[in-house]
A and B are shown apart, each in its own frame.
Chain A
């Protein structure tokens, strides 16, 4: 069956450091992978999409890598800030339909001053 695995342990880092979150998947042949942010009591908010032919994508302090051989994506937040504290979700399209996303359980990030 299709699985998306994210580190279930919360990640605690100091302000200013780089946070790195991991997403591993099995039984997907994804054309793309997405990362979302979710705050308590809120719906997920889209951050970045990376396609299978892209090794790396950047947006401001965010960087995503995508290795289809390892079946893994890494999500980096550089110069982290307390406002970055949230749960970060990795999402894959079940059938490359363009809409049927399944999400990992997410990794909670806490950035302390």
Chain B
């Protein structure tokens, strides 16, 4: 079956602009995760959605970052007023339930000029 898909694959934006990154999880997976992989750094947990429960936003680095998950499926990560330090690969993952094996998408490479 289809894996986790993310769009766009690459995004170049100017400092100060807002960006939206999209994640389509594996059908039937109730848990969805966002991670960030900055150059020379390991993947860093950002946010976790599980079903209809309130998301765990503890990993979001600032209030410029937000995420939504509509209808328990597609998720959008929004970064407002982008800064150069936001440049990274943003990865989405999903799992059947929370704490199950996470399946990752290919990521969106964000470059802020």
Residues of A within 8 A of B (CB): 4, 41-46, 49, 89, 91, 94, 97-106
Contacts and interface: CB of A to CB of B under 8 A. Distances in A.
By Cβ-Cβ distance, the 8 closest A-B pairs, closest first, are A43-B104, A98-B99, A103-B43, A103-B42, A100-B45, A105-B42, A104-B42, A46-B101
Interface in B28-74: 31, 33, 35, 40-45, 48, 50, 56, 58-59
Interface residues of B, number: 27
Contact of A101 (B4, B45, B105, B107): B45
Given A43-B104, A46-B101, A100-B56, A105 B45 contact: no
A86 to B, nearest CB: 14
A100 B93 CA distance: 11
Given A99-B48, A99-B99, A101-B43, 5 more contacts: A41-B107, A44-B104, A99-B95, A100-B45, A105-B42
B4 A43 contact: yes
A84 B66 CA distance: 37
A65 to B, nearest CB: 21
Contacts of A46: 101-103
B43 A89 contact: yes
